[in-house]
Amino acid sequence: MNAFEVITDSTEALRASFRLHASGVSVITMIDEAGNPAGFTATSMTSLGANPPLASFNVASGSSSWPILCKAKYVAIHTLGDRNLELAGRMAADHTLRFTKSDWVRGPHDLPIFEDATSVMICEIREIHNVENNAVVIVNVLEGLVGEVGPALLYYQRHYMSPGKSLN
Amino acid sequence: MNAFEVITDSTEALRASFRLHASGVSVITMIDEAGNPAGFTATSMTSLGANPPLASFNVASGSSSWPILCKAKYVAIHTLGDRNLELAGRMAADHTLRFTKSDWVRGPHDLPIFEDATSVMICEIREIHNVENNAVVIVNVLEGLVGEVGPALLYYQRHYMSPGKSLN
């Protein structure tokens, strides 16, 4: 244990660890009850098994998308490539400007689909577990759309990146 | 929607999307009721908010660690750097060989701590949600250990990688 610096403040401990951890970047979209598009950038999206196909992501219950997500039945999970840098930034900034460009169309279940994403999973919301000021959302993957292949987009140390060279 | 190939098989859809998505790599350790070490490599570990500090990860209920995790009270979540390539591979392979090297010590709550990890979060298991053959585990972060800084370890397209250049 000599090699480590101990951080006793639990929030600081989490922050210090996640500064050292990289994440893939996705964009999750849905529609509200009136059919208007909503969505956000997520770095928490991950697989929860392939058979049956399940995915999960985390969302803050203070976010602009949260009340819409709570009433939504379906979401579109977009995996992003390094060519989607602007989209990743836009979907994490002012929520009134997220769908003002003409880079999306309506897909299955009227979901907003960003056409330049590397892929999209059309998903049905299965469970939402509230945990303090956040929630874990679990979805069934129904079908997929695969776009133009390209290097994945990462988020690491407050910057977007693409993967480097393979180590193995 | 012209740009996309449609994949109607839902399991294939999930696999196609996750081939295009990159993940950070962590190692999660615990002890069984006799105090023996157990653990595994995870690519699903993510933050669930900083205040209070929470993290989540997914685990297959068919894994060797699952029955131990179900009875455990604490886990140690290690973030890995590119120098931990061998550890990431070992903790994803034969579970009887995972703790046979002398690269770990006992930490808080007798948890096995790999001393060359970039950081460790000492966590208390808070909730486990079973979903089909998998589970979502939610933990409270209690304190942290920060090791020698180094580039993060990624998993992407069946290879381990480190991050490339910053895009922004």
Of A17, A107, A143, the CB nearest to B8: A143
Which residues of chain B are within 8 Å of residue A110 when distances are taken between CB atoms?
none
Domain locations in chain B as residue ranges: 22-156
Which chain A positions have a beta carbon within 8 Å of B121's beta carbon? 13-14, 17
Q: How confident is the model at residue B156 (pLDDT cuts 50, 70, 90)?
A: very high
- Tokens 């839902």 appear where? B10
**Separation of alpha carbons B26 and B28, rounded Å:** 7
Q: List the CATH code of the domain at B22-156.
A: 2.30.110.10
Q: Tell me, yes or no, if A7 comes closer than 8 A to chain B by beta carbon.
A: yes
Q: Measure CB to CB from residue A4 to each of B21, B47, B146 and give the nearest one.
A: B146
pLDDT tens sequence across A49-86: 999 999 999 999 999 999 999 999 999 999 999 999 99
Contacting residues of A for B81, CB less than 8 Å apart: 20
- Cα(B106)–Cα(B113) distance, integer angstroms: 6
Burial A101-137 (b: 16+ CB within 10 A, else e): eeebeebebebbbbbbbbbbbbbebbeebebbbbbbb
Q: Is A23 close to B26, i.e. CB distance below 8 A?
A: no
Residue B44 has pLDDT above 90, yes or no: yes
* ipTM for this prediction: 0.96
pTM > 0.90: yes
φ, ψ of residue B13 in degrees (nearest 5): -60, -45
Average confidence (pLDDT) over A130-153: 96
DSSP per residue over B23-53, as a string?
EE-EEEEEE-TTS-EEEEEES--EEEEETTE
Q: Is the pLDDT assigned to residue B65 strictly greater than 80?
A: yes
Task: Give me the residues paired with residue A107 across strands.
Answer: none
Classify domain A23-155 at the CATH topology level: Pnp Oxidase; Chain A (2.30.110)
